[in-house]
């Protein structure tokens, strides 16, 4: 019998790629997405059209803040696994519209936790972010570092999600894996992401905004590497403390001492200078960008770098797509997608 897996945010950038991958692997995917207008919903509908062509995809358009509607989906489908990706994203957007993050990221995530507990989900996997490392300066970032200094409200809500999930895991024995994403990019990306903004500006002969005068490093992670990591983690269910085998009790494992709960970084573990990232885009386009050098934005950090030793230990897999390859894949998709739009 095929396993049921519920994916929230299934028409989003990462949710689309993950849902497609899981369908190809033989899962039955229950998609949940509100198709909100944070960015052009047509991009979400185009992703959804691809998923909906698969017989094992079932889509449900609703907000995760709506407990009763969400409960009806859990009750009807009884998912074996849940991957919770739906969230109000964006560091800078959270400065101007914090209440939206409270509703989606806090209230919505509470609903996912409560229903996963009530439906005895075998493994709940939830998206966090590298932004929770905040003011930390010791790199690479690893999962056992303290994350008490978030620099944006978005990051604060994601840290809250981690704490909420740990409490549910401890009290109810709900197995939870949190993954911290590091600057995901690739085809079908969101228009508010850097590559989209850069390529749109270049096409329209406008300068691109380069923050902190280009003195930024990011652990850019290609989306296909990310979803492969998530897929591998589905079967890595965190054990109860009393059931932990000795090979798991090693320094560096974030497994909770009191709950079947773990945090895992998912990144390329190879920080790239922002200017090199831009150069990869220029090379893929065959065009030099005009650059508007600007100071650091509020809530941003100068560098990120993922320690992925735990991911490798658990799954044997490490993201490795070079930025040059991933950026070219994005450019090829962007050109193809926009040519079809006319």
pTM: 0.95
pLDDT at position 249 is 47
Tens digit of pLDDT at every position of the chain (342 positions): 789 999 999 999 999 999 999 999 999 999 999 999 888 999 999 999 999 999 999 999 999 999 999 999 999 999 999 999 999 988 778 888 899 999 999 999 999 999 999 999 999 999 999 999 999 989 999 999 999 999 999 999 999 999 999 999 999 999 999 999 999 999 999 999 999 999 999 999 999 999 999 999 999 999 999 999 999 999 999 998 655 554 544 567 999 999 999 999 999 999 999 999 999 999 999 999 999 999 988 877 888 999 999 999 999 999 999 999 999 999 999 999 998 875
What's the Cα-to-Cα distance from 204 to each of 6, 15, 198, 199, 201, rounded to whole Å?
40, 30, 10, 9, 5
Instruction: Let me know how long the chain is.
Output: 342
| Distance separating alpha carbons of residues 105 and 95, to the nearest angstrom | 15
CA–CA distance, 65 with 84 (Å, rounded to integer): 13
Q: Residue 201 has what pLDDT?
A: 93
- Main-chain phi, psi angles of 162, to 5 degrees: -60, -45
Q: What is the pLDDT of residue 301?
A: 81
Domain boundaries, the chain: 4-182+223-267+306-320
Q: What is the pLDDT of residue 1?
A: 73
CATH number listed for the domain at residues 4-182+223-267+306-320:
3.40.50.720
Question: Is the distance from CB of 280 to CB of 222 less than 8 angstroms?
Answer: no
Q: Where in the sequence numbering do the catalytic residues fall?
A: 154
Kindly list the distances between the CA atom of residue 278 and the CA atoms of 148, 189, 261, 270, in Å, as whole numbers in the listed order: 32, 16, 38, 16
The token pair that represents 100 in the structure block: 């939206």
The single-letter DSSP state of residue 257 is S
| Cβ 123 vs Cβ 177: under 8 Å | yes
């Amino acid at each position: 019998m095929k396993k049921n897996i519920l994916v929230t945010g299934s028409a989003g950038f990462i949710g689309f790629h993950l849902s497609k991958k899981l369908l190809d692997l033989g899962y039955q995917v229950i998609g949940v997405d509100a198709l909100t207008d944070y960015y052009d919903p047509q991009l979400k509908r185009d992703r959804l059209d691809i998923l909906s062509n698969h017989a094992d995809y079932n889509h449900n358009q609703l907000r995760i803040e709506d407990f009763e509607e969400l409960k009806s989906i859990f009750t009807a489908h009884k998912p074996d696994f849940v991957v919770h990706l739906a969230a109000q994203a964006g560091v800078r957007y959270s400065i101007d519209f914090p209440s939206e993050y409270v509703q989606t990221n806090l209230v919505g995530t509470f609903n996912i936790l409560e229903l996963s507990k009530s439906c005895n989900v075998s493994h709940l996997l939830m998206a966090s972010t590298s932004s929770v490392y905040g003011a930390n300066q010791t790199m690479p970032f690893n999962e056992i570092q303290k994350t008490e200094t978030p620099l944006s409200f978005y990051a604060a809500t994601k840290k809250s999600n981690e704490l909420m999930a740990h409490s549910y895991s401890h009290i109810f024995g709900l197995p939870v894996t949190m993954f911290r994403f590091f600057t995901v990019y690739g085809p079908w990306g969101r228009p508010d992401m850097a590559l989209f903004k850069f390529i749109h500006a270049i096409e329209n002969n406008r300068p691109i905004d380069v923050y902190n005068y280009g003195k930024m490093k990011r652990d850019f992670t290609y989306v296909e590497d990310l979803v492969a990591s998530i897929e591998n983690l589905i079967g890595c269910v965190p054990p109860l403390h009393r059931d932990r085998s000795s090979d798991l009790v090693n320094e560096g494992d974030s497994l909770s001492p009191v709950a079947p709960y773990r945090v895992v970084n998912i990144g390329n573990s190879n920080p790239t200078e922002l200017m090199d990232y831009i150069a990869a885009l220029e090379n893929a386009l065959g065009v030099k960008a005009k650059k508007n050098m600007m100071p650091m934005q509020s809530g941003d950090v100068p560098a990120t770098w993922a320690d992925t030793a735990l991911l490798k230990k658990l799954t044997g897999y490490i993201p490795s797509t070079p930025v040059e390859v991933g950026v070219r894949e994005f450019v090829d998709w962007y050109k193809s997608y926009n040519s079809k739009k006319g």
